[in-house]
Amino acid sequence: MSSRTDYEVFDLGDFELSGGATLRGAHVAYKTYGTLNDSRDNAIVYPTWYSGRHWENEWLIGEGMTLDPARYFIIVPNMLGNGLSSSPSNTPPPYNGPRFPDVRVQDNVRAQHKLVTEHFGIERLVAVTGWSMGAGQTYQWAVSYPEMVPRILPFCGSAKTSRHNIVFLEGVKSALTGDCAWKHGWYDEQPWTGLRAASRVYAGWGFSQAFYWDEVYEEMGYTSLEDFLVGFWEGFFLDERDANNLLTMLWTWQHGDVGRTPGFGGDTERALASIQARAIVMPAEKDLYFPPEDNAWEVERMQNAELRVIPGVWGHFAGGGANPVDTAFIDQGLKDLLAD
């Protein structure tokens, strides 16, 4: 749909993060699809995921799909740290590189809320949806701004990052930072070995055991297991990604917890119970770091939530847009959610 340089930037001014640092001249890069109507009541927020950029969300948007720009005004805000919104890689000294401050999911959603309300003058959304860390931001929207969010569809993500998920990310982080070329973040050139090592760690987690058993990567055009590891995974981590940016987003992910929203005192269950939105929560059957049972635990604590598992062998990447069957399943979930 769009080129990589075709997006807008919203100035956050001096943006105080929940950890105490202030990002001066912070900004959110975003892209919109469709037209905001006169009553400003047709907007959907669809945040990005770990390392993702707005153009990597576009597979779920289009004519004939539920997220049809002819009907809805779809706002895709880039996550802080992703290289387009304020990030280690694009922030001037002194908060550049490894000095970029810790960012919480709450901070991301607060920044997006400013964009939605102050820039677009929107008082109420149609829905929020997102994959993976985008799902985490989706939950956070519903907790932070319950009056604005009548519907959510988080897919392949969670309201609180589980301990196992934290451990998985420790592996990714250790592989990336184990490369001496990383230089504690003060590299001149990307730590290529570390980035490629991190990508190989990720490879076992992103897709299920059965995906590899069935050699489904061949359907994606990869000609061998090693071709998939280099062509897809290493390519993924080398695609204009930056080590410090990845580490910033990884910290955000590891610390994700709606219970940390001001007013909830760390009580995740109470935060979940406070969600007023109707929710369809869609884990992938064989997701190795967001297993369906974690979402089941959440749904039990929510007022109006349905658990709808995406079947099949794609694991976490069921929500990545590469498998048409999974995409159709998620699109149907959105259709059902928005029909009410």
Parallel, antiparallel or unpaired: strands 73-77 and 8-16:
unpaired
Of 100, 205, 253, 329, the one binding a copy of itself by CB under 8 A: 205
Catalytic residue, chosen from 107, 242, 257, 287, is 287
Q: How does DSSP classify residue 220?
A: T
Catalytic residue, chosen from 132, 144, 158, 199, is 132
Distance CA 217, CA 226 (A): 11
φ/ψ of residue 76, rounded to 5? -110, 100
Nearest to 320 by CA among 192, 216, 215: 216
Cis peptide bond prior to 94, omega within 30° of 0: yes
Residue 99 C-beta: closest distance to a copy of itself, Å:
22
User: Based on the number of CB atoms within 10 Å of its own CB, is 159 exposed (0-12), middle (13-18) or buried (19 or more)?
Assistant: buried
Confirm or reject binding of residue 194 to a copy of itself (CB under 8 A). Answer: yes
Total count of residues recorded for the chain: 340
> Six-digit token pair at 94?
């002194």
Q: Would you call 86 a catalytic residue per the annotation?
A: no
Q: Would you call 89 a catalytic residue per the annotation?
A: no
Distance CA 285, CA 209 (A): 12
Residue 160 C-beta: closest distance to a copy of itself, Å:
11
| Cβ closest to a copy of itself, residue 109 vs residue 247 | 247
> Six-digit token pair at 55?
């153009």
Confirm or reject binding of residue 123 to a copy of itself (CB under 8 A). Answer: no
| Cβ closest to a copy of itself, residue 147 vs residue 213 | 213
Of 21, 36, 166, 322, the one binding a copy of itself by CB under 8 A: 166
Distance CA 110, CA 19 (A): 13
User: Based on the number of CB atoms within 10 Å of its own CB, is 323 exposed (0-12), middle (13-18) or buried (19 or more)?
Assistant: buried
Q: Would you call 316 a catalytic residue per the annotation?
A: yes
Piece of the chain touching a copy of itself by CB under 8 A; list 75-83, 140-148, 291-299, 302-310: 291-299
Buried b / exposed e across 59-81, counting CB within 10 Å, b at 16+?
Answer: bbbeeebbbebebbbbbbbbbbb
* Contact string 144-163 vs a copy of itself (x = CB under 8 A): ------------------xx
| Cβ closest to a copy of itself, residue 21 vs residue 166 | 166
Of 155, 211, 251, 253, the one binding a copy of itself by CB under 8 A: 211
Residue 163 C-beta: closest distance to a copy of itself, Å:
4
Residue 180 C-beta: closest distance to a copy of itself, Å:
4
Of 23, 60, 229, 307, the one binding a copy of itself by CB under 8 A: 229
Q: How does DSSP classify residue 180?
A: G
Of 213, 324, 339, 340, the one binding a copy of itself by CB under 8 A: 213
Would you name the residues annotated as active-site residues? 132, 287, 316
Q: Which residues of the shown chain bind a copy of itself in the complex (CB under 8 A)?
A: 162-164, 166-168, 170-171, 173-175, 177-181, 193-194, 196-197, 200-205, 208-213, 215, 225, 229, 288-289, 291, 293-294
